[in-house]
Amino acid sequence: MRPEAAPQLDGLERFASAGKGRGLRARRRFAVGELLYSCPAYAAVLTVSERGSHCDGCFARKEGLSKCGRCKQAFYCNVECQKEDWPMHKLECASMCAFGQNWNPSETVRLTARILAKQKTHPEKTQSEKLLTVKEFESHIDKLDNEKRELIQNDIAALHHFYSKHLEYPDNAALVVLFAQVNCNGFTIEDEELSHLGSAIFPDVALMNHSCCPNVIVTYKGTLAEVRAVKEIEPGEEIFSSYIDLLYPTEDRNDRLRDSYFFNCDCRECITKEKDKEKLEICKLNDPPSAETVKDMIKYARNVIEEFRRAKHYKYILCLALTPLDCELLEICELSLEKMGVVFEDSNVYMLHMMYQAMGVCLYVQDWEGALRYGQKIIRPYSRHYPSYSLNVASMWLKLGRLYMALKNRTAGVKALKR
């Protein structure tokens, strides 16, 4: 009996990647900037904070969106977008009406509900599953610790609580597997400034393995994911994307990969660690800090990053407008920068992280001068630390260009936007 041929797209094929499981491989040459393939979302949800400014169906940013006549909380470009989204929106519409302000399932729960509904209405392969189906997703169920299992059980409870009318549930064990699959294979959809717009499942994009030296990037046009080459790719080469932010040193990156995806990266960058010294640059002093001092400061930096993340999450959960918490977030950034600056250079990635957070707070409170000052300090170290054609660098130039324009410095604005 002849073996079944590997699934293929134009110039690409699924294959067994040594030590990595399934993977994606080039069958022809791809040039820098070339689109390898695109993938529509199997399921997607717009984040709650963007409702009213983006269409719930196609994620387009528009003014004058029309709201759902029943729940008054979902917004659409036109009747076509609303009709197309109704099979998914009806999962939430009646529930939002019933619960009112107490309707608060997490984005993961909302996305999983849509996947369950999609599997019921479209049991056959979809346009998003030419190379990999949702049911084939890796769950790493055997690697989940008690904390992760408890979080999944909380999500399952929320799913039952908020989605009782339009869903048929599999048993608890199957739901645990599905939530684990979503956690490992879900994508965050971002706009051109890398601001969070929503969450989605792109099965064919999830086929790609990770590398800290990726040869492609994934960008989004609404709910369509596009995979584009950032290096020359030759026939037979594996296609690698990055699952994580590549700013950080090797140890931090692999901590994140182990925690979220249950593996260590063995790419060239992780083996050589050649960028780590520059990413962790220490102040050039006559009496340089001891190794123990540096180690303690790195530990402090990691803790303050987590503290800031929790504080920002708390603000998001409360959906606050401009409040004293914004001042508190900015104060966390400024105090940590002052403390770390005794040991770290401004180009150190932990300094850059807090500058980026401070810039975000300044943008939120419309302090354009403050945001510009932080952005100007960030951009050149970003250009050194990130790989070529990084979206993080591009989005920072875009932010700077818009800030210069807002502050009437057209020459600098045009220059930044061209970058």
> pLDDT tens across 11-37, in order?
999 999 999 999 999 999 999 999 999
Single-letter code of the amino acid located at 142: D
CB 12 within 8 Å of CB 24: yes
Q: How far apart are CA 60 and CA 54, in angstroms?
A: 5
DSSP 112-139: HHHHHHHHHH--S--TT-SS--GGG---
SS3 at position 344: strand
By DSSP bridging, strand 240-241 and strand 209-210 are parallel
Average pLDDT, the chain: 92
Q: Name, in order, each residue with C-beta under 8 angstroms of 35's C-beta and a sequence gap of 6 or more.
A: 226, 227, 228
Same fold, 12-39+202-259 and 45-190: no
Selected residue with higher pLDDT from 365 and 374:
374
Predicted confidence at residue 323, as pLDDT, reads 52
- Average pLDDT (400-415) is 97
Whether the per-residue pLDDT at 318 is higher than 60: the answer is no
- Average pLDDT (386-394) is 94
Whether the per-residue pLDDT at 4 is higher than 60: the answer is no
Q: How far apart are CA 240 and CA 229, in angstroms?
A: 10
CB 85 within 8 Å of CB 57: yes
Whether the per-residue pLDDT at 326 is higher than 70: the answer is no
Predicted confidence at residue 177, as pLDDT, reads 98
Q: How far apart are CA 61 and CA 44, in angstroms?
A: 16
Question: What residues does each domain of the chain span?
Answer: 12-39+202-259, 45-190, 273-418
75, 104, 229, 414 from 49: Cα distances, Å: 12, 12, 32, 31
Single-letter code of the amino acid located at 315: K
CB 310 within 8 Å of CB 324: no
Predicted confidence at residue 1, as pLDDT, reads 41
> pLDDT tens across 74-109, in order?
999 999 999 999 999 999 998 999 999 899 999 999
Task: Tell me which of 3.40.50.300, 1.10.220.160, 1.20.1250.20, 1.10.3260.10 is the CATH number of domain 45-190.
Answer: 1.10.220.160
307 pLDDT band (50/70/90 cuts)? confident
> pLDDT tens across 249-278, in order?
999 999 999 999 999 999 999 999 999 999
Class of 273-418 per CATH?
Answer: mainly alpha
Task: Tell me which of 2.170.270.10, 2.60.40.10, 3.40.50.620, 2.60.130.10 is the CATH number of domain 12-39+202-259.
Answer: 2.170.270.10
Whether the per-residue pLDDT at 406 is higher than 50: the answer is yes
415 pLDDT band (50/70/90 cuts)? very high
